[in-house]
Chains A and B, each alone.
Chain A
């Protein structure tokens, strides 16, 4: 059986070469990654790209686009373009942090649930129970319980996001455990941490990456929801959700104030979701066939 082949070694050089080859083979993945990198860059370089997003100018409220304010000003006379650019920071940092935290915690719990016999069942019971609490509701409640700030938002969104990752990882572990190469590794005495690091993690990397991407997308939406409802984030921190909340009162006369952050938010989430889909397609190359109908 060819499946008994040696599991790949996670050597850095090998991985880099593999990643490069993967990107070259999957154009759409590369394009989406490039777009995300571009938006991250906008977030990082925000102070160079835009004026102060917090500068209030009551005399200059709700002005149309001009040379000075490219997208006009909001109800406090703040520059909309600047708030849009700085809002990228908020969305990107929440998205990335939640994805990273969810993956880290979810993988550890998922591995445990997949390997421990009795403990695993208990963990999954708790996990399933957690999943029956509506995620957004839980995030809102958690965010309101903690002190205001980005960290609180990240924690509040991460906690309801973890159970999904746990479920994915556990299912993967249960699948991988059936594979002949695990039996082969165990038969030559590989156990414990080396077994997991060398054989289990590399073989679950793909689907975990896909799930992390989806977690990132859903975190960006959740953070916008929190800001929109005025929970957790301070109104002073420029965020797209917060901009939309501010735009509610002027909506009939100035729908464009709602449009810009709405578009930016939707575009970023769309890019991340497409990345997830394409990654998932790339990991599972079985293409859907047409039937005889």
Chain B
């Protein structure tokens, strides 16, 4: 841990304010991304994983969003207070981002070549011809066959997987140090999903960049992530190396996610999938208890009095759970946990 982390988010809180009140969308979120690693955010819809990613690039609407506390340090500079001009240079230049739905994420009326090239021209200030050349290189890089011809294609002429490759090419066209991938495989066919994940993993090795991979799929995490951050109700509930977290899950919610995964093998296809009972708590007020207590299989009386903070659960592993040891012990028999342990 000699080099300083590329990205360091400290005590970030975020509120959505509307006419009817305000929502605590993020509460006291702190994490960091090392150079060259893949950090994965995991959690269900609305847990705050996308909102966290969006706030790094300040892509949330300006009205109705406030940040009561926190710093977002990228290479030492605080993005929360950076000027819009500085942000424009960072977006697409030093931090690239790809989105869930490659169908709607391109301008429908311009060719994909133009859309990659304009990014290059914007950040590099090169001529249109040079930018197009770079666009072609990028399409080669993301393994799109016949790249020169594809430059002239409109988004609707490409398949979903192809479009997501173009999306990656566009995000990486200016050699960013960090790639934020927001559910990059969710909208794709299963076979295509694996290809895209493999591509992201390969490219980060080739280009030496860091990746934040947002997903609700622990299977995806297990495949490529170096570290994982589990979020629930706008908070980080567990965080650590993939090996540690999967080998010794130490939060009731992580345990719940693992139990809910379908198991491979010939005998398991008829078993009913486990589910997590109950619903996410309301976020319109401060909660003075573990946010997951109401749904947790391990909950005790003390879980409902006072908010647990992230505490070490291993060498590079933290969990916000007072029953961490009990959870880990109970999960020791789980197939996935056994496999990682």
CA gap between A41 and B106 in the complex, in Å: 57
Main secondary structure of the interface of B (DSSP, over half): loop
Report if A192 contacts B (CB, 8 A): no
CA gap between A289 and B60 in the complex, in Å: 13
Shortest C-beta distance, A285 to chain B (Å), equals 13
Shortest C-beta distance, B340 to chain A (Å), equals 39
For B60, list chain A residues within 8 Å (CB). Answer: 292
Number of residue pairs spanning A and B whose beta carbons lie under 8 angstroms apart = 9
CA gap between A289 and B62 in the complex, in Å: 11
Shortest C-beta distance, A236 to chain B (Å), equals 56
For A, the interface residue count at a CB cutoff of 8 angstroms equals: 4
Shortest C-beta distance, A292 to chain B (Å), equals 5
Shortest C-beta distance, A55 to chain B (Å), equals 58
For B61, list chain A residues within 8 Å (CB). Answer: 289-292
Report if B59 contacts A (CB, 8 A): yes
Report if B271 contacts A (CB, 8 A): no
Residues 48 to 72 of chain B near chain A (Cβ within 8 Å) = 59-63
Residue of A289, A291, A292 contacting most chain B CB atoms (<10 Å)? A292
CA gap between A292 and B59 in the complex, in Å: 7
Residues 167 to 193 of chain B near chain A (Cβ within 8 Å) = none
For B, the interface residue count at a CB cutoff of 8 angstroms equals: 5
For A292, list chain B residues within 8 Å (CB). Answer: 59-62
For B59, list chain A residues within 8 Å (CB). Answer: 292
Closest to B63 in A: A290
CA gap between A254 and B23 in the complex, in Å: 63
Shortest C-beta distance, A87 to chain B (Å), equals 45
B31-62 vs A, Cβ < 8 Å mask (1 yes, 0 no): 00000000000000000000000000001111
CA gap between A289 and B63 in the complex, in Å: 10
For A290, list chain B residues within 8 Å (CB). Answer: 61-63
Closest to B59 in A: A292
Residues 261 to 293 of chain A near chain B (Cβ within 8 Å) = 289-292
Closest to B58 in A: A292
CA gap between A292 and B58 in the complex, in Å: 9
Shortest C-beta distance, B211 to chain A (Å), equals 23
For B62, list chain A residues within 8 Å (CB). Answer: 290, 292
Shortest C-beta distance, B85 to chain A (Å), equals 15
Shortest C-beta distance, B136 to chain A (Å), equals 30
CA gap between A291 and B60 in the complex, in Å: 9
Shortest C-beta distance, B53 to chain A (Å), equals 14
CA gap between A290 and B63 in the complex, in Å: 8
For A289, list chain B residues within 8 Å (CB). Answer: 61
Closest to A289 in B: B61
CA gap between A210 and B97 in the complex, in Å: 44
Shortest C-beta distance, A288 to chain B (Å), equals 12
CA gap between A292 and B61 in the complex, in Å: 4
Residues 288 to 332 of chain B near chain A (Cβ within 8 Å) = none
Shortest C-beta distance, A293 to chain B (Å), equals 9
Shortest C-beta distance, B178 to chain A (Å), equals 20
For A291, list chain B residues within 8 Å (CB). Answer: 61
CA gap between A203 and B62 in the complex, in Å: 37
CA gap between A292 and B62 in the complex, in Å: 6
Closest to B65 in A: A292
CA gap between A290 and B59 in the complex, in Å: 13
CA gap between A230 and B34 in the complex, in Å: 82
CA gap between A292 and B65 in the complex, in Å: 11
Shortest C-beta distance, A289 to chain B (Å), equals 8
CA gap between A289 and B64 in the complex, in Å: 11
CA gap between A108 and B63 in the complex, in Å: 46
Shortest C-beta distance, B109 to chain A (Å), equals 18
CA gap between A290 and B64 in the complex, in Å: 10
CA gap between A290 and B61 in the complex, in Å: 7
Shortest C-beta distance, B154 to chain A (Å), equals 23
Residues 180 to 217 of chain A near chain B (Cβ within 8 Å) = none
Shortest C-beta distance, B19 to chain A (Å), equals 10
For B63, list chain A residues within 8 Å (CB). Answer: 290
CA gap between A8 and B60 in the complex, in Å: 40
CA gap between A291 and B59 in the complex, in Å: 10
CA gap between A291 and B61 in the complex, in Å: 6
Closest to A292 in B: B61
Shortest C-beta distance, A264 to chain B (Å), equals 39
Shortest C-beta distance, B207 to chain A (Å), equals 28
Shortest C-beta distance, B59 to chain A (Å), equals 6
Closest to A290 in B: B63
CA gap between A89 and B62 in the complex, in Å: 51
Binding site for A on B (CB under 8 A): 59-63
- Supplied contacts A290-B61, A290-B62, A291-B61, 6 more A-B pairs, CB within 8 Å: A289-B61, A290-B63, A292-B59, A292-B60, A292-B61, A292-B62
Could you name 7 residue pairs across A and B whose Cβ atoms are closer than 8 Å?
A289-B61, A290-B61, A290-B62, A290-B63, A292-B59, A292-B61, A292-B62
**A-B complex: 9 closest residue pairs judged by Cβ atoms:** A292-B61, A290-B63, A290-B61, A292-B59, A292-B60, A291-B61, A290-B62, A292-B62, A289-B61
